[in-house]
Amino acid sequence: MKLTEKQKKFADYYIELGNATQAAIKAGYSKKTANRIGPENLSKLVIKKYIDERMEQLASERIMSAQEILERLSLIAKADIKETVVIANADGYSEVEKPPDFKTQIQAMKELLKRYPDNDRLLEQTLRKLTAEADIAEFKAAMIQSATGESTEDKLDELLGKISEVIDDK
């Protein structure tokens, strides 16, 4: 048995609204009989089957597939995707697009590597490089925030020394 157009509308509105009486009214049933017709329609197997199929279809459209997850992780790891952050400034607040930080990129790479245990050495080296860059960025931030009284020139010399150490360790 096939759904009538009115039954199909009822089922679609029921999925949208979650209320059988309101769905019946929107589908064109009389307001006087909607509170009886709505539950009656829900008990009909053909309508119930249609609702179940549509709900399953909608759920599968909303849930990411494994491929979509891997693609998203790859975009994060390569910093090809930006996130919006709100920052305070002299004019109040503004939204700024920024790439993922190094730690977020590293985490995405680790998640990707879990799925490819036999991956080549290049990815491991890239991960190591990003870890070093993250360490350098953290060091820079700590240097800027510290109030040690050193001159900017001294801080730059120290920073360049640390960078050289990290590069030499590779």
pTM for the model: 0.41
Q: How confident is the model at residue 138 (pLDDT cuts 50, 70, 90)?
A: confident
Last residue of a domain, one of 84, 104, 119: 119
The answer on 68 and 49 residing in a single domain is no
| Per-residue pLDDT tens digits for 60-75 | 777 777 788 888 888 9
Q: How far apart are the C-alpha atoms of 46 and 51, rounded to whole Å?
A: 9
Q: Are residues 114 and 130 in the same domain?
A: no
Q: Which residue has the higher pLDDT, 92 or 13?
A: 13
48: pLDDT strictly greater than 90: yes
Residues 104 and 134 in one domain: no
How many domains, the chain?
A: 3
* Statement to judge: residues 38 and 51 lie in one domain: yes
Whether 105 and 73 share a structural domain = yes
Q: Please say which residue of 62, 87, 103 terminates a domain.
A: 62
Same structural domain, 76 and 109:
yes
In this predicted structure, the answer to whether residue 103 has a pLDDT above a threshold of 80 is: yes
Contact 93, 87 (CB under 8 A): yes
Question: Which residues constitute the domain of residue 111?
Answer: 64-119
Q: At what angle do helices 20-27 and 5-17 cross, to 10 degrees?
A: 140
Query: Which residue's entry shows tokens 């109040």?
Result: 92
Same domain, 140 and 164: yes
Q: At residue 28, does pLDDT exceed 90?
A: yes
**Quick one: 75 and 58 in the same domain?**
no
**Amino acid letter, 159:** L
Q: 110 and 82, same structural domain?
A: yes
Nearest Cα residue to 109 out of 6, 100, 165: 100
Check pLDDT > 80 for residue 7.
Answer: yes
Contact 128, 136 (CB under 8 A): no
| Same domain, residue pair 35 and 70 | no
The CATH number linked to 29 is 1.10.10.1400
List of residues 6+ apart from 70 with CB closer than 8 A: 112, 115
CA atoms within 13 A of residue 123's CA, in its CB half-sphere: 18
Residues 106 and 129 in one domain: no
Return mean pLDDT, the chain: 83
Same-domain pairing of 155 and 133 = yes
